[in-house]
């Protein structure tokens, strides 16, 4: 690459807060979401869902529904079985306690023998209009024989009123252990301090702004074509091919604008399979857009684990061992993602930024009559970090060691890098004490006393919370394919299988192209979301930039090298004598030159095209220190965040505005879980209680009475990818939840309620905190 005499890379390339190229069209109403597409002859789909949490499906009567006006097709679960449609793949590598394979009921696209949670689809109706489909769905008769149901994972495993599948009478889908049990016992026996906590990380809904939506049709070439709101088009295609017994060449999945995913839109859902089957049968476009109530009961939920954790410390505060016993509620079906998040990914980061020599981990996945759990922003890491940071603060309280000093004594040191944690995960780089020191200064940690006194004068309890942590990113899908094409008009078109879902990835990728080609941003066209253009893992696990971006940067450099070779041919010069400056090739010492577009025009296909695959060396390990202050009104129990400060080591930053948006947006979601959000099921009937936005408390602007102070530390770039970047999309969520809960615990302790700290349970609603402060329990 040249020294960029045009200055374009300096203005629009990496490190610059370039305005997002996605925004203009969205702000002008030109966004194209799946539900915006209205092809001629489209049929609208409505799903019939089980009103019972657990029931045997005794009989269907669809004759009246089939005869109603506008109805084109009614499909039941039995119809899919008869047609040979396979259940969705489970693919769980873990085993049960007795050594047998992971157990789960087979998950059909439409339930036909038993419904296992409220909202599970049992039939689908297609009609000319949405109202006609709704009317016919109401007329479809399903006779159920209600069965016992269970929502609590402890009850499901210890006193199971029902088995969700025959292979697991105890409802334990899978179990795993890590560490050295005997050595950990010895460490705990010799410890000066042993801290114990029982922690519940409750269930939450992802609540993407755009609900799931699918448009399916058979194209003129005879292929099944799907347009949908998803983070992983290639993964959806794989599942459709498997369940419908089609070849990959017969299926195309495309993605337009996506109104948020947060992990909930990874992989295929039963509705996707059922709609694809319907489109294949009727040979007409079929569309379904979920309403908000459907999303609450049928989309994957997040979190929902019960943990007993113990920390052993020496007299000086050095951690000797960590013991964790965790029971995850993975819902009615033990999906591969839902199980791996809690039994593998969370454990990978359980020891976090601390040098912990011994572990004893026991993780189990339990099935209940609730919606399945899956990926939700952070996916296992928030749960693990929350446990660790609550333990650290409780250890400080019980040992009398200052909580900052306790963390400082146990940090992994830069000289220990690369560091292998007890789970065998290798941190390539990290300077955790440096990050914490910056955060303490930025938050004015030492000045808190004066602020607390001012709050007391207003009859408010003020608390100060801290969380120091890291996370793993990448989904262990470390390879990505890209294509780069220089068009005859000078446009540089790039394709990547990473996917946009509101996070600004197209802008960031375009900036990387500007770095290499030194052209204006409007000469870069980023294409995403089309399995015909290329396969890939998609966007999940904060991998888009460090894998997709690394691949694009390398592909762009290779394309420029090829363009230089072709330019040298055209100019009858040696490639070594050809310079590149801002879209133009020049021969040194002469007036010979040719534009990049002209080189493309001279090629047989009138373009310069290159396909490239890049594999990064390993995951990235972003880390941070988040500090917040809360005020609690003792008369009402209401909590408000009055200061929030964070320093985040995300490696090299390509677009500061986008990164800051990801960090702050993630933090708000973490605060929402800590203070407001909870997906609740009735314990007796297993009916969802929080099935709408009238009942589910999403985070609002008024829970934060301050501006976030957000800093990015770029001094420790990742060594695992050529860009030096680290994943950023989930970091804020992971840090915010323990940070605010620790702040609430601190406020209660300062207000004379120190005994309440170990019993704090999220969400920290006003009624719970008021009860704690007034001696009524949680």
pLDDT tens track for 385-412: 999 999 999 999 999 999 999 999 999 9
Which residues, at least 6 apart from 405, have a Cβ–Cβ distance to it below 8 Å? 317
**Full-model pTM:** 0.96
Judged by DSSP in three states, 274 sits in: helix
Query: pLDDT tens-digit profile of 320-350?
Result: 999 999 999 999 999 999 999 999 999 999 9
Domain that holds residue 534: 8-29+475-615
Instruction: Check: CB of residue 556 under 8 Å from CB of residue 612.
Output: no
Laid out side by side, the sheet with 584-587 consists of 578-581, 584-587, 593-595
pLDDT, average across residues 283-303: 97
739: closest CA among 309, 411, 407?
Answer: 407
Residue whose C-alpha is closest to residue 162's, from 93, 105, 204, 200 = 105
Provide the CATH number for the domain around residue 232.
3.90.1170.50
Local structure of 76: helix, strand or coil: strand
Please, what sign has the CA dihedral across residues 502, 506, 509, 510?
Answer: negative
Question: In terms of domains, do 122 and 51 share one?
Answer: yes
Q: Structurally, how many domains does the chain consist of?
A: 3
Instruction: In the chain, count H helices and then E strands.
Output: 22, 28
On the question of pLDDT at 4 being above 80, the answer is no
Q: Residue 778 above 70 pLDDT?
A: no
Domain boundary among 298, 331, 357: 298
Q: Which pLDDT value is given to residue 774?
A: 84
Same domain flag for 462 and 490: no
Contact (Cβ atoms closer than 8 angstroms) between residue 428 and residue 720: yes
Averaged pLDDT for residues 606-630: 96
Average pLDDT in the 664-684 region?
A: 96
Residues 636 and 744 in one domain: yes
Q: Within a domain: residue 598?
A: yes
- CB neighbours (10 Å) of residue 367? 32
C-beta contacts of 659-663 below 8 A and 24+ residues apart: 659/712, 659/728, 660/710, 660/712, 661/504, 662/503, 662/728, 662/729, 662/731, 662/732, 663/710, 663/712, 663/728, 663/731, 663/732
**Alpha-carbon gap, residue 384 to 417, rounded angstroms:** 22
Please check whether residue 291 lies inside any domain of the structure.
yes
Report how far apart, in Å, the C-alpha atoms of 184 and of each of 343, 362, 392, 588 are: 20, 13, 18, 68
Q: Are 537 and 232 in contact (CB under 8 A)?
A: yes
Are 495 and 558 within 8 A, CB to CB? no
E-assigned strand segments in 650-723: 708-713
Contact 321, 184 (CB under 8 A): yes
Token pair in block for residue 36:
């915006």
Mean predicted confidence (pLDDT) in 492-517: 93
Same domain, residue pair 17 and 53: no
SS (H, E, C) 623-664: EEEEEEEEEECCCCCCEEEEEEEEEEECECCCCHHHHHHHHH
80 and 220 housed in the same domain: yes
> What's the pLDDT score for residue 773?
87
Q: Are both 123 and 221 inside the same structural domain?
A: yes
pLDDT at 742 exceeding the cut of 70:
yes
pLDDT tens for each residue of 553-612: 999 999 999 999 999 999 999 999 999 999 999 999 999 999 999 999 999 999 999 999
What percentage of the chain reaches a pLDDT higher than 70? Answer: 98
Q: Are residues 713 and 747 in the same domain?
A: yes
Return the pLDDT at 777. 56
**Residue ending a domain, choose from 615, 639, 667:** 615
Average pLDDT over residues 429-456: 98
Question: How much is the average pLDDT of 678-701?
Answer: 94
Residues 143 and 77 placed together within one structural domain of the fold: yes
The verdict on residue 393 lying in a domain is: no
Fill in the DSSP letter of residue 212.
P
* End position of a domain, from candidates 572, 595, 615: 615
In a shared domain, residues 630 and 742: yes
Q: How far apart are the first and last CA of the chain?
A: 62
Q: Do residues 370 and 686 touch, judged by C-beta distance below 8 A?
A: yes
Whether pLDDT at 1 is above 70: no
Provide mean pLDDT across the span 429-442: 98
Q: Is residue 389 part of a domain?
A: no
- Residues 63 and 74 grouped into a single domain: yes
658 assigned to some structural domain: yes
Do the domain assignments include residue 312? no
Judgement on whether residues 627 and 491 belong to the same structural domain of the protein:
no
Residue 628 lies in a domain: yes
Whether residue 202 lies inside any domain: the answer is no
Q: Is the pLDDT at 517 greater than 80, yes or no?
A: yes
How far lies 236's CA from each of 287, 373, 422, 602, 735, in Å? 16, 18, 34, 39, 31
CATH number at residue 735: 3.30.365.10
pLDDT of residue 6: 63
Q: What is the pLDDT of residues 47-94, one digit of tens each?
A: 999 999 999 999 999 999 999 999 999 999 999 999 999 999 987 889
Q: What is the pLDDT of residue 5?
A: 60
Nearest alpha-carbon partner for 543 in 496, 510, 507, 511: 496
Same domain, residue pair 453 and 541: no
pLDDT score of 776: 67
């Amino acid at each position: 690459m040249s020294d960029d005499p045009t200055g374009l890379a300096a203005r629009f390339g990496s490190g610059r807060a370039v305005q997002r190229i996605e925004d203009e069209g969205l702000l002008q109403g030109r966004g194209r979401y799946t539900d915006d597409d209205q092809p001629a002859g489209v049929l609208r789909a409505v799903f019939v869902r089980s009103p019972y949490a657990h029931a045997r499906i005794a009989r269907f009567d669809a004759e009246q529904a089939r005869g109603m006006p506008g109805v084109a097709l009614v499909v039941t679960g039995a119809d899919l079985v008869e047609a040979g449609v396979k259940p969705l793949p489970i693919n769980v590598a873990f085993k049960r306690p007795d050594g047998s394979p992971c157990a789960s009921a087979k998950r059909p696209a439409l339930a036909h023998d038993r419904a296992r949670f409220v909202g599970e689809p049992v039939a689908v109706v297609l009609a000319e209009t949405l109202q006609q489909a709704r009317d016919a769905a109401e007329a479809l008769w399903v006779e159920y024989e209600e069965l016992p149901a269970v929502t609590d994972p402890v009850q499901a495993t210890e006193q199971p009123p029902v088995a969700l599948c025959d292979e697991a009478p105890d409802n334990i889908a899978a179990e795993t252990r890590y560490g050295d049990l005997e050595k950990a016992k010895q460490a705990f026996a010799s410890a000066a301090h042993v801290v114990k906590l029982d922690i519940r990380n409750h269930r939450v809904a992802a609540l993407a702004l755009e609900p799931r939506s699918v448009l399916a049709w058979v194209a003129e070439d005879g292929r099944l074509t799907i347009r949908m709101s998803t983070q992983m088009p290639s993964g959806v295609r794989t599942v459709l091919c498997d369940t419908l017994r089609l070849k990959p060449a017969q299926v195309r999945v495309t993605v337009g604008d996506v109104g948020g995913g947060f992990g909930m839109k990874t992989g295929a859902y039963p509705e996707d399979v059922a709609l694809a089957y319907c489109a294949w049968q009727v040979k007409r476009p079929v569309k379904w857009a979920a309403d908000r109530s459907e999303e609450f009961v049928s989309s994957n939920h997040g979190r929902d684990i019960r943990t007993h954790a113990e920390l052993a410390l020496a007299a000086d505060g050095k951690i000797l061992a960590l013991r964790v016993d965790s029971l995850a509620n993975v819902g009615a079906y033990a999906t591969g993602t839902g199980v791996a998040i809690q039994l593998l990914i969370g454990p990978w980061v359980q020891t976090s930024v601390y040098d912990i020599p011994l572990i004893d981990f026991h993780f189990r996945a339990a099935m209940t009559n609730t919606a399945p759990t899956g990926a939700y922003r952070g996916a296992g890491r928030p749960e693990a970090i929350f446990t660790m940071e609550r333990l650290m603060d409780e250890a400080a309280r019980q040992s009398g060691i200052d909580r900052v000093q306790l963390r400082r004594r146990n940090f992994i040191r830069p000289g220990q890098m690369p560091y292998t944690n007890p789970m065998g995960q290798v941190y390539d780089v990290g300077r955790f004490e440096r990050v914490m020191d910056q955060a303490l200064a930025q938050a004015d940690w030492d000045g808190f006393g004066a602020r607390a006194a001012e709050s007391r004068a207003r009859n408010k309890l003020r608390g100060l919370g801290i969380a120091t942590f890291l996370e793993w990113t990448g989904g262990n899908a470390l390879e990505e394919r890209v294509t780069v094409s220089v068009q005859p008009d000078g446009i540089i078109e790039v394709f990547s299988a990473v996917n946009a879902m509101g996070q600004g990835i197209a802008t960031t990728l375009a900036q990387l192209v500007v770095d290499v080609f030194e052209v204006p941003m409007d000469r870069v066209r980023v294409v995403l979301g089309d399995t015909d253009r290329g396969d890939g893992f998609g966007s999940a696990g904060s991998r888009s930039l460090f894998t997709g971006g690394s691949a694009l940067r390398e592909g762009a450099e290779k394309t420029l090298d090829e363009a230089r070779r072709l330019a040298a041919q055209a100019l009858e010069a040696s490639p070594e004598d050809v310079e590149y400056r801002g879209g133009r090739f020049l021969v040194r010492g002469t007036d010979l030159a040719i534009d990049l577009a002209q080189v493309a025009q001279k090629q047989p296909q009138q373009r310069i095209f290159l396909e490239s695959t890049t594999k990064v060396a390993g995951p990235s390990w972003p880390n941070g220190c988040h500090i917040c202050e809360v005020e609690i009104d003792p008369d009402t129990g209401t909590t408000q965040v009055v200061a929030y400060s964070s320093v985040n080591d995300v490696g090299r930053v390509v677009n500061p505005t986008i990164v800051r948006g990801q960090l702050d947006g993630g933090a708000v979601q973490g605060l929402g879980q800590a203070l407001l959000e909870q997906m609740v099921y009735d314990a007796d009937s297993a009916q969802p209680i929080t099935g709408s936005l009238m009942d589910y408390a999403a985070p609002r602007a008024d829970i934060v009475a301050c501006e976030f102070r957000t800093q990015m530390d770029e001094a420790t770039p990742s060594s695992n990818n050529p860009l030096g970047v680290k994943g950023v999309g989930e970091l804020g969520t992971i840090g915010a939840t323990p940070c605010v809960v620790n702040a609430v615990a601190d406020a209660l302790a300062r207000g004379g309620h120190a005994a309440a700290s170990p019993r704090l349970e999220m969400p920290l609603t006003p009624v719970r905190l008021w009860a704690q402060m007034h001696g009524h329990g949680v």
